[in-house]
Amino acid sequence: MTAEHNRKFILLVFIPIFIEAVLFLVIPILGTIGISFTDYNPIAHKMDFTGLANYMKLLDDPEFVLAMKNTLVFTVVAVILNIIISLTVATLISQLRSNKTRSFFRMIAFLPCISPLVASAVVWGRSILNTKIGLINQLIEKFGGHSVAWTGDAKFVMLSVIVFTLWADLGYNIILFCAGIDGIPGEFYEAAELDGTSGWQKFRFVTLPLLGRTTTFVVLMTLISYFQMFAQFSVLLYKDGPQHSGLVMTSYIYKTAFVYKEMGYAAALSFVLFLLILVVSVVQQRLNKVDWEY
């Protein structure tokens, strides 16, 4: 097969992917941007061009400010904890000598990821975080403490959601870090042992640097995912939690679009969230450029 035929074959293979991207990615994004410049309301059957009115409204919207603040707090804290915990667990698993033992613990770590997020949130909300009969409060009371309204107290709402999210999502990154660690050639560790390095020094000066590409990918994917988290906030919390302590951008977009029917304003909120994710992703990639091979 000639090079020309190879190029034609590659183009034919990519045509369905290109069509799918245009239909389900490009067109919806462009449509959202267009709607954001209108006061579109499907109930009132109106769609007048309003220019930048929706974007100007953002500046004076206290709910938008609160939702953005909560989104940033949740994303930053959850991503940092996710990376630290998943990398630590992956490192411990990779140090096990038996392949069967490593596979067993990887399976255990990944099990929560199999469960649907909504179903898991329902179970957590009714049996673990429940104020009266929740497992956590029963343990606290058993040791002489007082029960806590985990999803009913503004001080604990974000903590509760972050803990649940980590439980449900850590498995993905643990598997990725395990694969990255297993891909590091053993010669590097052997050379480190000849130099008399400790376990921490091998992790600090061998594992971490050589996991650069894996870490960059994991951080980027986790950031994008956590900025868009919606299910647990909707299921675990009642009406965005007390004092709107659990109101995030995705919840506010949903409420604006499907409760208030302000589709134009919801589109503007969506585009702002899209830009935020885009900027954070680009900055994160620039800060974590890895130019090495092994």
Question: What per-residue confidence (pLDDT) applies to 248?
Answer: 97
pLDDT at 294 over 70: no
Question: Does residue 9 lie in a domain region?
Answer: no
- Tell me the per-residue pLDDT of 208-225, one tens digit each, with 9 for 90 and over: 888 988 999 999 999 999
3-state secondary structure 187-252: HHHHHHHHCCCCHHHHHHHHHHHHCHHHHHHHHHHHHHHHHCCCHHHHHHCCCCCHHHCCCCHHHH
Average pLDDT over residues 240-264: 94
Residue 47 placed within a domain: no
CATH number of the domain to which 188 belongs: 1.10.3720.10
Domain assignment present for residue 32? The answer is no
Average pLDDT over residues 9-18: 85
Residue 25 confidence (pLDDT) above 70: yes
Mean pLDDT of the chain: 90
- Report pLDDT digits (tens) over 100-114: 999 999 999 999 999
Residue 159's pLDDT is 96
User: What's the pLDDT at 206?
Assistant: 87
pLDDT greater than 90 at residue 9: no
In a domain, 278, yes or no: yes
Q: Is residue 25 part of a domain?
A: no
Q: Tell me which of 18 and 249 has the higher pLDDT.
A: 249
51: left (phi over 0), alpha (psi -120 to 50) or beta: left
Continuous H helices in the chain: 3-21, 27-35, 53-59, 62-94, 99-114, 117-123, 135-142, 157-182, 186-194, 199-202, 208-210, 212-227, 231-236, 249-258, 263-287
- 202 within some domain: yes
More confident residue, 250 or 144: 250
Lowest-confidence range among 95-104, 119-128, 182-191? 182-191
* Domain hosting residue 151, numbered range: 67-287
Query: Does the pLDDT at position 20 exceed 70?
Result: yes
The pLDDT tens digits for 58-103 are: 989 999 999 999 999 999 999 999 999 999 999 999 989 889 999 9
Q: Is residue 34 domain-resident?
A: no
Residue 242 covered by a domain: yes
The total of structural domains in the chain comes to: 1
Burial of 276 (0-12, 13-18, 19+ CB in 10 A): middle
pLDDT at 5 over 80: no
